[in-house]
Amino acid sequence: MDFSSFLTSLGTSFVIFVVLMILFGLLSSRPGNNVVYYPNRILKGLDPLEGGYKTRNPFSWIKEAMSSSERDVIAMSGVDTAVYFVFLGTVLSILVLSGVIVLPLLLPLSVTDKGSKGQTTSKGTFNELDKLSMAHITEKSPRLWAFVVACYWVSLVSFFLLWKAYKHVSLLRSEALRSPDVKPQQFAIVVRDIPPVPQGQTRKEQVDSYFKAIYPEAFYRSMIVTDNKQVNKIWEELEGYKKKLARAEAVYEGSKTTAKPEGTRPSNKTGFLGLIGKKVDSIEYYNEKINELVAKLESEQKITLREKQQNAALVFFSSRVVAASAAQSLHAQMVDTWSVFDAPEPRQILWSNLKIKFFQRELRQYLVYFIVALTIFFYMIPITFVSAFTTLDNLVKILPFIKPIVRIKVLRTVLEAYLPQLALIIFLALLPKLLLFLSKFEGIPTESHAVRAASGKYFYFTVLNVFIGVTIGGTLFRAFKTIQKNTSELVPMLASSLPGNATFFLTYVALKFFVGYGLELSRIVPLIIFHLKKKFLCKTEAELKEAWAPGDLGYGTRVPGDMLIVTIVFCYSVIAPLIIPFGALYFGLGWLILRNQALKVYVPSYESNGRMWPHIHNRVLASLILYQITMLGYFGVKKFFYTALLIPLPILSLVFGFVCAKKFYPAFERPALEVAAHALKEVPNMELIFRSFIPPSLSSEKIDDDQFEDALSHVSRTSHV
């Protein structure tokens, strides 16, 4: 890639960004689009636009985002979102603080050096940027001392700010957990691996007597987990028919025009997709179906509660401290029985995972690790090819028939600028679903944990495949015909191939922030989809609401993407310091735009009180260590005599990580009692707490308290007596 294609790439990205910004300014001020641009505020019952329509200008959202406090974010979008902003803010601060010293220190040194002939950042075609990078420094030059200082500076700034961030998040978490509001999950624990029911007892009696013996005063009640597959299916079918009925009624109402006041009763066919079969009156047919299913649901509910009990339960305590203590204490002498966990929010329990047994969970975990490792390994091959082929020169060499296309100058430039990056981005978009599925397969009991686990796997994937894959892959391909022998020296090879890929990553970062965040802010795609649905599909209020439901911030996939940028920017921060402002721009823009989205658009689908932070912290630290090791290798390549001076850095990072893990981590893993011991603002209504954990498919209005209780307590006795 030469200088002009680099500028073209930057320029096009920027133009797209500006266009999207203008679109956002225009579209977001139209009241008809409020449900797309302010759904979070609408769902919270707030006025979509704070200041009213008059005072607004297209840039007022910037002011609003800048002036919003962490409290506002927590109030509108929860602690998890606030923690995500701590991450963005911390990385931004690291980059700004690093850049302030590193840029003025290193750039003049690089430019004024006589220059080494051997290495360039762009294979010789891109001299303007070459001069700004460490590759331009002569081997063994005393100027390398400044680069050593820069390495230390970046690391120390990172340590300092990461420490502050961890402390801050720990505080946020403890504040959320000590809140005087009654949160049902703070009064419950999840019990798994319950041993087989002893003769003559029901499952419920077994659980109750076990916990009553240990917590004679604080034990409130237990809820046995059941296999809800069947009942869920019926319930979903029922809900589907209810929606269809509402829709048919709306259609019927709509057809009552003044010309035809009696309207047309809608009809449908009963066969496959409503295309074949007998034609029936829709409203009657759906009503019939609903009545049928309600009866079916009721009997299935009873069967489920009686006969489909499993080896897991939720246990409720009347005290928050006792529940917190119970969730982390060893209950049974044999650890593969009666294992306990703190209860998550009801909405994020993965019910079907609760029954999986202790050693099966372990086994599944290792199996999944193995599959993920395989995936990472086999994805490496295509990505390596992509990065090697997608320089146009290579493509032309291998596929000569595309030459005519490439001859068109403009097309060539655009292709050259975007092709590799686009290939990469599309590649990465395929994976998260698979990883989330695999993580759930491990037997993880909560949605947030599964997302965290998937995100962790995705991080390994991106760093290993994209960063190391592209960097070494490009080198390998070039080196393939010439050297072919020293493939074993990974660190020096990675280090020496870094500068050659600097421009690739510069454009990658720029593409991500201009186009990615532009699309994010303008919400063009959801807007179009919403308007299409509204026009052609939606007939009822509920359907309309569903059409603009914004979803959540989705930081499970966002974080690994950001992490890749963190890794890239860290690794190039000293080699090609020009990447620092790009990185800062990425995180700065990200902070600003996502702040707007968090406050106005996305609605969190669960709350884990910042449980994500240790995960993020460790990965930032891992990037830092990768950077430090790479630098060690690169100084070696530069034949700098005092390279060993950099050895303390990775060791320091490990010690730092160790201290953080010891000091802060346990409070993220299990609830601290001093936090749980804070006073509540009201006496908890245990009945409500208990009911909040009943899955919707089991909580019918017709089954009242006593029946639920009754059903729960009389089960499985029949099978034993």
Point out which residues bind a second copy (CB under 8 A): 170-171, 173-174, 210, 213-215, 217, 321, 324-326, 328-336, 338, 358-359, 362, 659, 662-667, 670-675, 677
| Residue 567 and residue 583 in contact, taking contact as beta carbons nearer than 8 Å | no
Supply 402's token pair: 């595309």
**Of 120 and 311, which CB lies nearer to a second copy in the complex structure?**
311
Please, which residues have CB within 8 angstroms of residue 215's CB and are 6 or more apart in sequence?
317, 322, 326
**Of 264 and 329, which CB lies nearer to a second copy in the complex structure?**
329
Q: In the 3-class helix/strand/coil scheme, how is 6-33 assigned residue by residue?
A: HHHHHHHHHHHHHHHHHHHHHHHCCHHH
Shortest Cβ distance from residue 440 to a second copy (Å)?
Answer: 22
**Of 321 and 491, which CB lies nearer to a second copy in the complex structure?**
321
The secondary structure element, H or E, covering residue 224 is: strand 219-226
How far is Cα 715 from Cα 171, in angstroms, rounded to an integer? 45
**Short-list 42, 20, 45, 22, CA closest to 33:** 42
Burial class (CB in 10 A: 0-12, 13-18, 19+), 198: exposed
Shortest Cβ distance from residue 564 to a second copy (Å)?
Answer: 31
**Of 214 and 399, which CB lies nearer to a second copy in the complex structure?**
214
Shortest Cβ distance from residue 344 to a second copy (Å)?
Answer: 18
- End-to-end CA, the chain: 79
Q: Considering just the CA atoms, what is the radius of gyration of the chain in Å?
A: 30
**Of 173 and 306, which CB lies nearer to a second copy in the complex structure?**
173
**Of 210 and 627, which CB lies nearer to a second copy in the complex structure?**
210
User: Which string of DSSP letters, residue by residue, matches 701-717?
Assistant: SSS-HHHHHHHHHSTTH
**Of 358 and 427, which CB lies nearer to a second copy in the complex structure?**
358
**Of 295 and 335, which CB lies nearer to a second copy in the complex structure?**
335
Shortest Cβ distance from residue 196 to a second copy (Å)?
Answer: 16
Supply 123's token pair: 């294979």
**Of 281 and 336, which CB lies nearer to a second copy in the complex structure?**
336
| Residue 73 and residue 598 in contact, taking contact as beta carbons nearer than 8 Å | yes
Shortest Cβ distance from residue 215 to a second copy (Å)?
Answer: 8
Shortest Cβ distance from residue 361 to a second copy (Å)?
Answer: 10
What residues form DSSP beta bridges with 281?
267
**Of 332 and 585, which CB lies nearer to a second copy in the complex structure?**
332
Shortest Cβ distance from residue 654 to a second copy (Å)?
Answer: 12
How far is Cα 690 from Cα 317, in angstroms, rounded to an integer? 10
How far is Cα 80 from Cα 73, in angstroms, rounded to an integer? 10
Please, which residues have CB within 8 angstroms of residue 355's CB and are 6 or more apart in sequence?
192, 225, 227, 310, 311, 312
**Of 213 and 410, which CB lies nearer to a second copy in the complex structure?**
213
Shortest Cβ distance from residue 677 to a second copy (Å)?
Answer: 4
| Sheet-wide strand order for 188-192 | 219-226, 309-317, 188-192, 339-342
| Residue 417 and residue 9 in contact, taking contact as beta carbons nearer than 8 Å | yes
**Of 244 and 611, which CB lies nearer to a second copy in the complex structure?**
611
How far is Cα 420 from Cα 428, in angstroms, rounded to an integer? 13
Burial class (CB in 10 A: 0-12, 13-18, 19+), 94: buried
Q: Quick one: CA dihedral 154, 159, 163, 166, positive or negative? A: positive
Shortest Cβ distance from residue 210 to a second copy (Å)?
Answer: 7
Shortest Cβ distance from residue 490 to a second copy (Å)?
Answer: 21
| Residue 494 and residue 633 in contact, taking contact as beta carbons nearer than 8 Å | yes
Shortest Cβ distance from residue 338 to a second copy (Å)?
Answer: 7
Shortest Cβ distance from residue 202 to a second copy (Å)?
Answer: 19
How far is Cα 167 from Cα 673, in angstroms, rounded to an integer? 18
